Amino acid sequence: MYKRQLVVIFLRGGADGLNFVVPHGDDEYYRLRPGLAVPRPGEAGGALDLGDGFGFHPGCAALMPLMKEGVLAALHAVGHPDNTRSHFAEQDRWELAHPSSINGSDLGTPGWLGRYLAESKPRGAIRAIALGSRIPRSLRGKVTALALPGLDQIASRGGDADLAATLRALESAYGKGGDGLKGALSGNGSSTLDAMERLGQVAANPLELKGNYPAGQFGQHMREVARLVHADLGLEVIQAEINGFDTHQNQAQPFNQRMRALAQGLQALRTDLEDRLDDVLVLTVSEFGRTARVNGTRGTDHGSGSCLIAMGGAVRAKDSAPRGVLGDWPTLAKDALQGQRDLRVTTDIRDVYAEVLTNFLAVPTLEKVLPAWAPQPLGLVQAQDHHAPGIPQPKKPRTESKD
């Protein structure tokens, strides 16, 4: 059975990619961010060196073993063209990834993951779960996704897997509307009832986990991801999120807390995935980066280019060497900045989605999922087997700067 599962983590608010994956080899970074720039590797509180002039934020220490293992890679200067710097507009564009969303939100357009689910062959009655109180735009479409704040909210009071109690708890957990339980049940019949019963069993019988998950909602959600992956429900997509990245003022401390939570949550998840890592791909996204220059309140404002990370067996190169930081680095020189204020976007997020869809999820054609899009190869996600047609890999590393 084809068991691959995509886990998307949305860093909402516009995560500061320049302090996440630090370009410590670019002197302009320190000129633009006095008092906010992460010091160079080897200095107190310095970046964790990844080579080629880049390093992780010191709060991301838990990611370093994954990078050394070769199952994690970063991609810099990624985003959408003609960025509006609006949270709502840009979150829609990242989650829709459709031409109709470029010049305005089309409320009738299914999300990119919703379009994928509509075109792929189902592996189970429950195909997608959003960990939270709502279904994100990315998962909306013909195939109903479940929005679950947590598995504990659907566990039966007595700890058993009684089907009626599970269904009542599910209905209470996320409502009766078109995206609710009745919407999920209509048209799916007994197979969905069986899947709901299985989900209730998962909730009532917690998996023994080994990972050291951080306190807070994100740590809990990563625990849920581990449990859902091991449950073999036929799930194809899980989406989670972290809020609080809109760091206009006094950025350092809250950003550090979120970096630690993200890194520790992913490290714990990797521990609990064990040999299932080859069947899981974790991808972080955020609607935009932050301004290259620190503002007057020790924070950063809405920007353009940012970074993302991917974790999983599909990231691992054939020689298992550390992947490091990929992407065409445009530099932070004044004449290279977008509008003389932002990191310029050199990789369109739709190229990332295309590589995930083709090389990991084995989508044979992108026409209906990413219409009118001709993807460029990135080398972030490796083609896994003969099921995946693959996007040709770049002939040389994409870490080279454009002149």
Residue 223 lies in a domain: yes
Half-sphere exposure of 133 (CA within 13 A, CB side): 1
Can you tell me which residue has the tokens 């899947």?
A: 195
The reported pLDDT for the residue numbered 206 is 83
**340: confidence class by pLDDT, cuts 50, 70, 90:** very high
pLDDT digits (tens, 9 = 90+) for 155-208: 544 444 455 555 555 555 544 444 444 444 444 445 566 667 778 888 888 889
**81: confidence class by pLDDT, cuts 50, 70, 90:** confident
Cα–Cα distance, 222 to 229 (Å, whole number): 11
Q: Which domain holds residue 236?
A: 5-163+213-360
Residue 193 lies in a domain: no
**323: confidence class by pLDDT, cuts 50, 70, 90:** very high
What mean pLDDT is predicted for residues 104-120? 85
Say which CATH number the domain at 263 has.
3.40.720
What mean pLDDT is predicted for residues 52-79? 98
| Average pLDDT value over all residues in the chain | 87
Can you tell me which residue has the tokens 């320190």?
A: 30
Residue 317 lies in a domain: yes
pLDDT digits (tens, 9 = 90+) for 31-55: 999 999 999 999 999 999 999 999 9
What mean pLDDT is predicted for residues 64-88? 95
For 295, the token pair is: 């503002």
Residue 191 lies in a domain: no
What mean pLDDT is predicted for residues 343-368? 97
Residue 367 lies in a domain: no
91: left (phi over 0), alpha (psi -120 to 50) or beta: alpha
What mean pLDDT is predicted for residues 287-295? 98
Percent of the chain with pLDDT over 70: 82
**99: confidence class by pLDDT, cuts 50, 70, 90:** confident
The reported pLDDT for the residue numbered 191 is 59
Q: Is the pLDDT of residue 252 over 60?
A: yes
pLDDT digits (tens, 9 = 90+) for 376-390: 999 999 997 644 444
Residue 369 lies in a domain: no
- Lowest average pLDDT, out of 65-69, 287-291, 397-401, goes to 397-401
Residue 309 lies in a domain: yes
How many domains does the chain fold into? 1
The reported pLDDT for the residue numbered 403 is 36
pLDDT digits (tens, 9 = 90+) for 4-21: 999 999 999 999 999 999
Residue 287 lies in a domain: yes
Q: How far is CA 324 from CA 75, 114, 275, in A?
A: 9, 31, 22
What mean pLDDT is predicted for residues 355-366? 96
The reported pLDDT for the residue numbered 397 is 37
Q: Is the pLDDT of residue 213 over 60?
A: yes
